[in-house]
Amino acid sequence: MGDGTRTRQAPGAVAYDDVNELIATATRLMQKDAAPDTLTPEDLRRIGEELDIPARYVDQALEALARRREDEARARERRSLLRRARLRQGALAGVVLVGVLAVPGLIVRNGLTTQLAEVARKRAQVRNVVERREALHARLDQLTPGLNRDAEVAGADNRVAVERRRYDERAAEYNASAASFPTSWVVRLSGLPPVLPLSPEVSSW
């Protein structure tokens, strides 16, 4: 129209410019629905006859196709079985590997636990002689000054020094074991202490 007013289209209406495309699309869809997905042997023989191909050759071709399809199906089944077998072998190998790694790890952990228990025993020995020395010092005033008292004090100090040295030896042995490879990994994974303090680092027994 000359006044610039646009013509409204009814709902579902198609513009003239789209008609050709719409018809072409509808034709393709109709042809697709009309065409069968498969052909029967009779259909193939009829097509072969139109092409001057004897029916026996069509039948032979059908047999060859069937054999090929069977061979392909068997090959797929073999590949599937092989994949499953490899997966089972991989899982079994993983279990074996975990077992192989776990057994030495368990042995190492048990050895460290034994060492740790020995260190704890030596530490208890130090605590015992330290407490006895403190008890001795608490009653020094009650002791008669002289050689006997001095000998008791020296003996108490000596016992403390000896037990501290024994503790340090066991703690140093544990620290060396815990720091070695691959024992250090067992220490990390098992939650055992990576290092133990030596006697100069111990503030309270």
| 10-39 pLDDT per residue, tens | 666 777 787 788 887 887 777 666 555 677
Residue 122 CB partners (closer than 8 Å, separation 6+): 163, 166, 167, 170, 171
Up-side HSE of residue 67: CA atoms within 13 Å toward CB? 6
Region 157-178: mean pLDDT is 96
Region 89-99: mean pLDDT is 62
**What confidence tier does 1 reach under pLDDT thresholds 50, 70, 90?**
very low
Q: What percent of the chain has pLDDT over 90?
A: 39
- Polymer length of the chain: 205
Average pLDDT, the chain: 84
Q: What is the DSSP string of the chain?
A: -TT-PPPPPPTT---GGGHHHHHHHHHHHHHHHHS-SS--HHHHHHHHHHTT--HHHHHHHHHHHHHHHHHHHHHHHHHHHHHHHHHHHHHHHHHHHHHHHHHHHHHHHHHHHHHHHHHHHHHHHHHHHHHHHHHHHHTGGGSPTTHHHHHHHHHHHHHHHHHHHHHHHHHHHHHHHHHSTTHHHHHHHHT--S----GGG-S--
Q: In this predicted structure, what is the pLDDT of residue 17?
A: 81
Answer left, alpha or beta for residue 12, where phi above 0 means left and psi between -120 and 50 means alpha: left
Q: In this predicted structure, what is the pLDDT of residue 9?
A: 58
Q: In this predicted structure, what is the pLDDT of residue 10?
A: 62
Residue 120's Cα: distance from chain center in Å? 35
| Range name among 72-76, 126-130, 136-140, 175-179 with the lowest pLDDT average | 136-140
For residue 93, CA distances in Å to 81, 87, 96, 106, 163 come to 18, 10, 5, 20, 50
Burial readout 75-95 (b: 16 or more C-beta within 10 A, e: otherwise): eeeeeeeeeeeeeeeeeeeee
Q: In this predicted structure, what is the pLDDT of residue 20?
A: 81
What whole-number distance in Å separates Cα of residue 47 and Cα of residue 53? 8
Q: Is the pTM of this model over 0.85?
A: no
Which tokens belong to 76? 């797929």
Region 163-168: mean pLDDT is 97
Q: In this predicted structure, what is the pLDDT of residue 101?
A: 47
- Highest-pLDDT range among 85-89, 124-128, 137-141: 124-128
Sign of the four-CA dihedral 60, 62, 63, 64: positive
For residue 6, pLDDT over 80 is answered with no
Q: What percent of the chain has pLDDT over 70?
A: 84
